[in-house]
């Protein structure tokens, strides 16, 4: 897999980097700014994805087996540092 932003290459044999790629496949609907019925495809490494999302990235930590979550936004994490 190759990151569409930085060009990082990762293969299944290389371990976790491949597993952490973010793949986006979206079919645009009526009135979509990208065009009706167009497809949006992107492969992003975890680093570029985090850079793109900046402080809007929500990180969810499971706290029990009942699907309860604690949701933290990156801006909350970094503001406490």
Contacts of 22 (CB under 8 A, 6+ apart): 42, 43, 44, 45, 46, 49
Which of the two residues, 77 and 47, has the higher pLDDT score?
Answer: 47
The whole model's pTM is what?
Answer: 0.61
Q: How far apart are CA 2 and CA 41, in angstroms?
A: 13
More confident residue, 15 or 48: 48
Give 18 or 66, the one with higher predicted confidence. Answer: 18
Answer yes or no: is pLDDT of 32 > 70.
no
Q: Which of 1-5, 24-28, 77-81 has the lowest mean pLDDT?
A: 77-81
Mean pLDDT over residues 19-36, rounded? Answer: 78
> What's the distance, CA 64 to chain centroid?
24
Residues 6+ apart with CB under 8 A from 61: 69, 70, 72
| Residue 36, both tokens | 């009706």
């Amino acid at each position: 897999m190759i990151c569409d932003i930085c060009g990082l290459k990762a293969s299944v044999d290389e371990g976790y980097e491949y597993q952490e790629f973010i793949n986006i496949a979206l079919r645009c609907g009526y009135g979509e700014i990208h065009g009706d019925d167009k497809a949006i495809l992107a492969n992003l490494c975890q680093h570029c994805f985090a850079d793109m999302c900046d402080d809007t990235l929500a990180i969810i930590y499971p706290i029990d087996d009942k699907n309860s979550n604690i949701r933290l936004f990156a801006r909350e994490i970094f503001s406490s540092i």
